[in-house]
Structure 1
Amino acid sequence: MASNEKSYAPGQHPDLPAPANLVGPIAWIRGNLLSSPTNIVLTALAAWFLYTLLPPMLNWLFLDAVFTGEDRNACRAAGEGACWAFIGERFKLFTYGFYPLEQRWRVNLSFVLLCLAAVPVLFDKVPYRKYGLYYAMAFPFIAGWLLVGGNILGLELPVVATDKFGGIMLTLVIGVTGIAFSLPIGILLALGRSSRLPLIRVFCIGFIEFIRGVPLITLLFVASTMLSYFLPPGTKFDLLLRVLIMVTLFASAYMAEVIRGGLQAIPNGQIEAGDALGLKYWPAMRLIVLPQALKISIPGIVNTFIGLYKDTTLVIIIGLLDPLGIGRASLADTKWTGLSNEVYIFVAIFFFISCFAMSRYSLYLEGKLETGHKR
């Protein structure tokens, strides 16, 4: 029988595309949503739930929402949806807190410098990365001077009291400071806990267990109220600085346990290999053990960072106003009473975007370092 197919030499036949029923959206739906009776039932229930929930939610959030208005009555007269005019009218307050209007350029500049400092830390294929890392290490002190002010190296900025800090700015200050300092301190505590020197080991164990056994809100209360009783009369200790120290120490204790788990997963042969190469303790840890332990600990490290970032909302208990505190204080204004839903949704969206970005970077880093993550 004659054949219309072209003949090819052995090994020269071109690759053929996959069958249409095995690739594409239809194949994905069949494989993930309709692969079994149970999945079919769950898919149908999920579709019904979304069909019931999404239309009224979209109407309230966007279609029937009011984006301009002078007060809540204007919103209610214009539509039955969300009153985003409230968020728009207080957006600068949500962002800068009570930072002086004429000095807010310093907050904006600090945020730009933060983004520049994050690039060499998060990505390794950037030009002059070594110098970028030096800058990243100096950034917390540069940002501190920009935000607080004062005279440094002949450059002077007006001093802004830290009780003017608030909103998203305050959350970033506490979160970034805690993240930047808790990781190196946690590494030292993890190494100290496994040290052969009894004094160092006992100190690290005692510190970690004490901090992990006390709620963060208690530590913040001690830092804000009770610490003044243990200081000499007349001593002034900035409240925000006390909060930054407590938050950093709290996160460091949890970070130490995460990293200790990574260290315990490293076979003793790796340490013995360092000894065979003639490396002393610190070079062996820096070049052989810690890179592997940190790679294993990436999910736990990022999880601790996310927990720390969300815990910044606890500062409202001691009188510092983060975005949630700003929102609750704004609701006391008779013009905008009764709009708590808009406040909580706005704050939830802000934290979701921030935490989701951290989690996605964690997945990117795991895949880049080949930690066995399956997408």
Structure 2
Amino acid sequence: MIYTMTLNPALDYIVKIDDFRLGEVNRSTDEVIFSGGKGLNVSMVLNNLGIPSVALGFVAGFTGEEIERGMQAQGCRTDFIHLDEGVSRINLKLRTGVETEINGGGPLVSEFAVSELFAKLDKLQEGDILVISGSVPDSLPHNIYERIMARLQPKQVNIVVDAGRDLLLSAVMYQPFLVKPNQQELSQIFRTPLHTKDEVAVHALQLQEMGGRNILVSMAGEGAVLLTEEGRILSSRPPEGEVVNSVGAGDSMVAGFLAGWLENGDVQHAFRMGLAAGSAAAFSMGLPTKEDVNILKLYFKGAKNMKEFQYTIQDSAGIHARPAGQLVQLAGGVESSVTITKGDKSADAKRIFSVMGLAAKQGEVITVRVEGADEANAAADIEAFLKENL
């Protein structure tokens, strides 16, 4: 069973105003209100895709009742803890040509309510999936994610973490099944701007070394990058379409990934499902339906299965003349294109001066990308060569 946990759910009130004027009375041209929060979004998209889940979290007051009613009206199963004081928050999403968000604070969560949540989590079993996502109310301890993951670690629950920098870093050491930052969040984690997919892949590897098993990084209009538990790097641009609403796109990507992974355990299929679901959310005012996702899945039909992997140079002399020449000879004998990247430098592996120009030293990480008719065998041969010679 999949469980989603939203510690600070909300009613999302999305208002579109074509000609917004600050300080004046404005009339909306379109508006919608629905139950919101990252975990709730995952549950709703999973439900749209035919995958059952249970939504956990805290709700309070009349807004909390409406959140629960809205989820159940969508066909989602809930198991919320009802707080005695306060009200669940309302988040305003203002669409005026640019997106502006005003988010409420949320109710006070007592230690007793936390113990009730832990009692529900204690019922999870091996093989269950728990999606932990979103912000934490100020009344909860800052290490709540860490406490939850430490508690569940002996149960071998597959945990997905989608949260901001500090919350994610406190949880990643417990080896979650999937970590899903976006490009900006990954930049914040490592305190450095990340512009290219190669830069994202290098830092995804660092996040994996900290404990995350599969690292899925969404990159808005550039698509996404997935670093798998086995060390494969998958990347793709998204399907083409007009972006009308980014709210819920990352959550939809998580739901799509899980739905795809549950179908056959293939991470490449899961990656494409995630990208299709995330794009479908961005192309509509609400969360995507199964039909929306299935239409965008056609984008990937017949797509090449590009092979990509990373390798850390072991040779004390780095990439020097003799193995570089052998590598160029090997790459020249395959039909596929072979590109080697180090940082912001890229080299054609079939050209000796291009490879030598990387000046890759011991301990540095290179990314090898192989694309073409014989890419699977070519990538395996090149990876074996690197392990034996560099």
Whether TM-score is above 0.5 comes out as no
Greater helix fraction, Structure 1 or Structure 2 = 1
Greater strand fraction, Structure 1 or Structure 2 = 2
TM-score for both structures, normalised by structure 1: 0.22
Larger radius of gyration: 1
TM-score for both structures, normalised by structure 2: 0.21
